[in-house]
Structure 1
Amino acid sequence: MKQFFKSFSFITILLLGTFITTQAQIINPVSWSATLSNDAPKEGEEVVITFKAKIKDGWYLYSNDFDHELGPIVTSTEFKPNATFQVADTLLPINSSEKYDEIWEGNIRYFKKEGTFKQTVKILDPNFKIEVTMNGQSCSDETGSCIPLQKDFTLEPKVDTSDESLLGFIISAFLFGLTAIFTPCVFPMIPLTVSFFTNQSGGKSKAFLYGFSIIAIYGFFGAVLAPLTGDPSVANAISTHWLPNTLFFIIFIVFALSFFGMFEITLPSSLVNKMDKQSDKGGLGAVFFMAFTLVLVSFSCTGPIVGTILIESVGGAFLKPIFGMIAFASAFALPFTLFALFPGLMKGLPKSGGWLNSVKVVLGFVELALAFKFLSTIDLVYNWRLLDKDIMVAIWIAISAMLGLYLLGKIRLPHDSPTDTISPPRMILATIVFTFVIYLIPGLFGAPLKLLSGILPPQTHHTFDLRGIIREEIEFAELSGGNKKETLIHPIKYEELFELPHGLKGYFDYDQALAASKKFGKPIFLDFTGHGCANCRKMEDNVWSDPRVLSRLKKDYIILALYVDDPTKLPEDEWITSTFDKNVKKTIGAKNFDFQITKFKSNAQPFYCLLNGEGDLLVNPKAYDLNVQNFVDYLDSGVAAFKK
């Protein structure tokens, strides 16, 4: 009789649950979420899926760590078979409660308010797709009714936030390609090349091949450089070491002088002539060699631009130089293909003249300004303090003012045509340049200049920071008046080498930050950063500076900044042998970079982690994201997890 009642009750519960669910879905007692311990795992790596359930008051959720034969529907996962992953462990409930259930006549385990389950899967393909269904049952303490649950999830690798900077880089490369068209070496070639295709049979199809060949040639150059960015340690070294940065500085100065008309950068005439002879043979192969000839002939104008793109791609994603070259070439090849298809459009083209040389000179000023960026990187990495932010701003003010005077005709360079009047485009451009000069001037006295975040040195490297002086005076007054308690363990290791932005106080050593977290009962805000990290500076200037973020960092967290590119040599007893590449790490930067790769499986900066005093992650790490509210929510989630 008792067994009959048990079976009858079970059927009744299921029918009631089905009825409640189908009637306009009045009750939804459980809301689910699923997250991965690593959003971008490598092949062969195990990751943990955390399923979290928020349960409405008066309801409870059955766990799965009790006798399944009792009768209730236990919480379980059902994975859709997929070759990109495999389930490595059973579903594990975290801290479920136990009680005796009279209906089921046995002890069951359950969750109230919140429930957590974890399951480990092994990634077989970095481009994985995990489709999983959560099944279970929730019952009400008040009504005794139960509802069967089902929730579907799709988990895929997170797109690296560096893709945002990659997109910006591609757009910049495309704009550089458009600019290259309006140079003396390229612009006059457009009507000559277009007339060749329009005066023969099959000209339009050959024009397409011509444009594609240009893209393929530049794409090949990018592919040659791409391997340099594949190894994170190599990319990091190239972007921060003094030797490549000095070389890049010299190259950019040479580019600038070439654009100013001091000399021309040309390739050997024998190479150009050889390609030109190949193009005379006819056929589709000749079209390719025509494209190659154009690339070689225009090198004196396009070479510095292409060099700028390739140098800027060093230290980025593996595909960055390839995408950059393809974007540049797509814009560069556009007029040759477009005008071959629609020759009538050429009537609207301006005539060649002295304005083409002016384009080169303007590019020369841009190259000159960018050159000092590489010297600044060396200065930051080696902490020389010779090119602080105010010095860099002064240099850029001088260069921009000279450019403005050039556009107004007050300065003339070799190959410039005499100008009695200033054209409207030059006047508009000069106005923009002088507006930029005015924008830069407050930067001499500590203004943040957010538009140039990541290009100029950080605010901590400023000789006369008026805002910083005022902030320090206020903090000193608060400490003197007993209104503020400093939560720091002194002496701070590496304090003489590093400094946090916006007057924040914190640590630069992992073990010291863990000790501070335990002592003061606060979570750790870990910032993997770098002296040469442009996106780190953008985050600090545009997100950290927001009062909502700044107050949370000051009050709620122990701040830990680990520089991954610092060349300071460690004492021999602090050297480590990497488990990642088996090399000995002898500097602060190398040790921190290896720590980021091995513990958090990431090699990009900025990279933020919220930890407890044992070094465990409280929530998933966060990368580059200029949305302030997202960052506020991230910090709040870390505090909430730490309190639990």
Structure 2
Amino acid sequence: MKKLAYLLLFLVSIVSVQAQIVNPAKWKSKIEKLSDTEYIITLDGTVEGDWHMYSQFTAEGGPLPAELLFNNEKGNYVIAEKAKESTTKTVYNDVFEVDETYFDGPVQLVQKVKLTNSDLKTIQLELSYQVCLDVCISQSNFFEFDVKNLTSKEVLNFEDSSDTVAKTTEKAVTITPVKEEQKGLFKIFFIAFLSGFAALLTPCVFPMIPMTVSFFTKQSKTRAKGIRNAIFYGLSIILIYVVLGTIVTAVFGADSLNALSTNVWFNIIFFVLLVVFATSFLGAFEIMLPNSWANKVDSQADRGGFIGILFMALALAIVSFSCTGPIVGTLLVEAASKGGIAPIVGMLGFSTALALPFMLFAMFPGWLNSMPKSGGWLNTIKVSLGFLELALAFKFLSNADLVLQAHWLEREVFLAIWIAIFGAWALYLLGKIKLPHDSPMDHISVGRLAMALLVGTFTIYLIPGLWGAPLKIISGFPPPMTYSESPYGVGNSKGGAAATDVELPDGAKLGAHDLVAFTDYQKGIDYAKSVNKPVLLDFTGFACVNCRKMEDYVWSDPEVLSILKKDFVLISLYVDDKKPLPEAEQYISPETGRKIKSIGNKWSDFQITHYKANAQPYYVVLDADEKPLNSPIGYTPDVETYKNWLLEGSSK
């Protein structure tokens, strides 16, 4: 089915190749005169469906941020600060390995301008931005505001009419994926649910299951009433933790903590916090709430009825805090950094897993006989959670180091720390390390041995990463390969030892997987003629997510890579290259009517003019006379489909 879906996508791309100008963002603008020297410019954008437009403040190294460029600012007016933005969302991008920030809903940018030249007639503004879905599009829109004839307090509204491309062509056919926000919330719920089960298997919570269920069955006059009370008890547990998630959302705001996800102090503080949690789980000390709280709540639990049951649930939360607190704290940090209602969803997942056993065992009390007895295995689980907390803590410290670019925690150091942590965990499970609250034992169980083998295997898997192995299983956790002492592996350089001895053709450089790639179209064409090979024209972008995915997961396939190296001359044209063109080479595009000022503008206009497409990635196979050898395609994540497309082009 998966291959069939990719085949359908491939066929759609062929059918719609003449209608691939995509314009997912539409704009309106207005200007308001506040005084003789001050104006407010507002740009309102509507972004279609699941497309993402990126904020001015998205992290460097990822998708392109929005940028307001004032063409006639010098000597005429001043811009005090960046434009204010509408609501944004920050999520981790595992391709670029940064937190990217994009607009969540309609886009609004509000810019204050202060005039210094009373004779100024117009303010000329260019909005440059990137939008992505299955493909990425870098666009710019031009706005011009008449300030000479604008009276005080007058507001003028404008429809954007600069985008002639969108008005003369159809929109490409795309397959709409599941909303990223929904996927993120499902992921948070699932992780929180598993964390709730982990908390359930700790010494503070597990022994309370038979005690609590026995209380309900003995105190209730009928079995039906006992079941009803136990269900209300479980719902009360859920209510308490969901209220906690709601409070976090309300206090910090739905999207304030996510803006801190790349903040140095935020990451350092939570690194310290998680180390404290981990140390507690390992047995150094207990994190407990004041005993007076538990006593007061416990006294209210004797009141009976639903109010008493509610206080019983609250007492469970307080008494078990030494075990659940670190897990809840970690979940809230991770969920809150996603913004929105993620803390509420996280607490719903955690509390549901925590409450389910109490309700189920009350309904079926006979199951209590099959429950394992409390013992040292509960402390083993608690200690194991401590090792996991400790490993996760260094992810926050790594985030801070990456933002600072201090190079204190480069990839090799991070991996060495993880190897030490997981190695110590494996030794602990094998009984070679003893911690304060461990029970004496003369043998280990089969389950504990299986867990030790699993953790030990993961530890061994990490070791080759010190010498440059990609470690795709943990992609996104350690720093990227480029942030290391040896970016290409110990003893290696880009292209291998022999690559430095190869003289590259004029206008070429080493690209992804050491492919020789031309970044100048004409030089690439001339070279292709000299070696009598077809050209693979690659319209790409430095900040194009799916361009990197194609390179990482499709071009890396041995068969595809062999075809690219032996049968094609690769020309990669970056449509988001901001380097300015020489003044003499700048021009007005006859296709779009826009001024072409940068190298990226030039290649984007080249793509639109010659192929009636503006999305990346976009691939075209040409012969030496610059004629297409097959139908161009866009993002094609299926290796077989892409390989067959290359073979079709190279065989003609």
Q: Which range, TM-score by smaller chain?
A: 0.5 to 0.7
Letter in 1 for 2:329: G
- Over the matched positions of the two proteins, sequence identity in percent amounts to 42
Q: Tell me, in whole angstroms, the C-alpha distance in 2 between the residues paired with 1:527 and 1:277.
A: 60
Q: Deviations over 1:227-284 (max 9, x none)?
A: 588666x445411111111111111110111111111111112222222122211111
Partner of 1:629: 637
Letter in 1 for 2:243: F
Letter in 1 for 2:287: I
Q: Tell me, in whole angstroms, the C-alpha distance in 2 between the residues paired with 1:221 and 1:540.
A: 44
Partner of 2:61: none
186, 206, 210: which is aligned to 2:233? 210
Q: Tell me, in whole angstroms, the C-alpha distance in 1 between the residues paired with 2:605 and 2:445.
A: 65
Partner of 2:270: 248
Of 370-379 and 547-556, the range deviating more from structure 2 = 547-556
- Match of 1:556, SS state, is strand
Q: Deviations over 1:376-399 (max 9, x none)?
A: 111111111111111111111111
201, 212, 215: which is aligned to 1:193? 212
**Mapped pair 1:558 → 2:558:** no
279, 285, 289: which is aligned to 2:311? 289
Q: Tell me, in whole angstroms, the C-alpha distance in 2 between the residues paired with 1:285 and 1:631.
A: 61
Deviation of 1:553 after TM superposition, in Å, equals 13
Partner of 1:273: 295
Q: Deviations over 1:554-598 (max 9, x none)?
A: 743427599xxxxxxxxxxxxxxxxxxxxxxxxxxxxxxxxxxxx
Q: Taking structure 2 as the reference length, what is the TM-score of the superposition?
A: 0.58
**Shift in CA distance, 47/189, structure 1 to aligned 2, threshold 3 Å:** closer
Q: Tell me, in whole angstroms, the C-alpha distance in 1 between the residues paired with 2:475 and 2:231.
A: 40
Equivalent positions of 1:187-586 (< 5 A) are: 187-199=206-218, 200=220, 201=222, 202-226=225-249, 234-467=256-489, 470=492, 472-474=494-496, 477=499, 480-483=502-505, 485-486=507-508, 523-527=539-543, 555-558=571-574
Q: Is the CA contact (8 Å cut-off) linking 1:453 and 1:541 kept in structure 2?
A: no
Deviation of 1:339 after TM superposition, in Å, equals 0.3
156, 166, 178: which is aligned to 2:197? 178
Q: Is the CA contact (8 Å cut-off) linking 2:411 and 2:480 kept in structure 1?
A: yes
Of 314-323 and 476-485, the range deviating more from structure 2 = 476-485
Partner of 2:604: 612
Q: Tell me, in whole angstroms, the C-alpha distance in 1 between the residues paired with 2:512 and 2:303.
A: 63
Name structure 2 gaps, 5 residues minimum.
1-13, 29-42, 50-105, 107-158, 525-536, 579-600, 618-634, 646-652
Greater RCO (Cα-Cα under 8 Å, separation 6 or more): 2
Letter in 2 for 1:194: V
**Shift in CA distance, 560/249, structure 1 to aligned 2, threshold 3 Å:** farther
Alignment root-mean-square deviation, CA: 4.8
Letter in 2 for 1:370: L
Q: Tell me, in whole angstroms, the C-alpha distance in 2 between the residues paired with 1:371 and 1:259.
A: 14
**Shift in CA distance, 432/487, structure 1 to aligned 2, threshold 3 Å:** closer
**Shift in CA distance, 40/390, structure 1 to aligned 2, threshold 3 Å:** farther
Letter in 2 for 1:205: R
Q: Is the CA contact (8 Å cut-off) linking 2:25 and 2:45 kept in structure 1?
A: no
**Shift in CA distance, 265/163, structure 1 to aligned 2, threshold 3 Å:** same
Q: Tell me, in whole angstroms, the C-alpha distance in 1 between the residues paired with 2:576 and 2:639.
A: 17
Q: Tell me, in whole angstroms, the C-alpha distance in 2 between the residues paired with 1:330 and 1:238.
A: 29
Q: Taking structure 1 as the reference length, what is the TM-score of the superposition?
A: 0.58
Q: Is the CA contact (8 Å cut-off) linking 2:241 and 2:351 kept in structure 1?
A: yes
**Mapped pair 1:164 → 2:156:** no
Q: Is the CA contact (8 Å cut-off) linking 1:313 and 1:321 kept in structure 2?
A: yes
Q: Is the CA contact (8 Å cut-off) linking 2:636 and 2:642 kept in structure 1?
A: no
Deviation of 1:315 after TM superposition, in Å, equals 2.6
Name structure 1 gaps, 5 residues minimum.
1-29, 50-83, 97-114, 120-152, 489-499, 507-512, 530-534, 563-608, 638-644
Q: Is the CA contact (8 Å cut-off) linking 2:607 and 2:613 kept in structure 1?
A: no
Q: Tell me, in whole angstroms, the C-alpha distance in 1 between the residues paired with 2:490 and 2:182.
A: 33
Q: Deviations over 1:528-576 (max 9, x none)?
A: 78xxxxx9999986578557599699743427599xxxxxxxxxxxxxx
Q: Tell me, in whole angstroms, the C-alpha distance in 1 between the residues paired with 2:160 and 2:414.
A: 56
Partner of 2:115: none
**Shift in CA distance, 444/118, structure 1 to aligned 2, threshold 3 Å:** closer
Q: Is the CA contact (8 Å cut-off) linking 1:37 and 1:47 kept in structure 2?
A: no
Q: Tell me, in whole angstroms, the C-alpha distance in 1 between the residues paired with 2:252 and 2:643.
A: 32
Q: Tell me, in whole angstroms, the C-alpha distance in 1 between the residues paired with 2:429 and 2:501.
A: 53
- Match of 2:541, SS state, is strand
Deviation of 1:309 after TM superposition, in Å, equals 1.0
